[in-house]
Structure 1
Amino acid sequence: MDKTIFRHLCNELKRLHLLKEDNGIISVEKAIGIMLFIVKHNVDYWLTAHRFQHSLETIQRRFRHALRVIHALECLIIRPDVDAVELPHSLRGNEKYYP
């Protein structure tokens, strides 16, 4: 992920009050970084705790919370197109995409 996109994501999460500092221990940027590190590299909590120098409980708690926040963000970003009245015929006729 590009640095500007990462910063924009963190700023949006702060602006929408979806994610905030954890008593000054873990910043929003670090929480999102932890979540992205686990998801991208498919690593366990122990390796992540070692890399970010926090306890397993802190890593697990912040990962789950950041993942829930990203999931909640999809309701605000992903919306159906208001101009799309119906599905294209290529999708409607294919049972794989339109059962």
Structure 2
Amino acid sequence: MPGEALTNRPREHIMALTNKSRTAIYTALSDIIEEEALEEMLTNFPAREIDEPVTRDFLAAQMSDLRGEMTQMESRLQDRLATQTRWMVAMIVAAPTVTVALQAYFT
């Protein structure tokens, strides 16, 4: 069936083909399979670890981690904004009192 795994091993344990392995497979199968079909088949096997497609489970785990980090960041931002707002309100309330006290002191 298309898209069905050829092995029961989790995708994380499947490694990319080395150039040596890729060449050996190509050489061994080139007598029995057309060159174009063989090249198509080998394109489904990543040549480097970075070329491996991302699995849905891996992506879901990464997104979950990202959502958790974003929630923590939102909480920190809310705390900082609340602290800043309290400080600004205190300054607004204190400024006239300080101004009157300074005016009384210097007159």
Scaled by the length of structure 1, what TM-score is found? 0.31
Looking at both structures, which has the greater relative contact order when contacts are Cα pairs under 8 Å and sequence separation is at least 6?
A: 2
Q: Which has the larger radius of gyration?
A: 2
Structure showing the higher helix proportion among its residues: 2
Scaled by the length of structure 2, what TM-score is found? 0.30
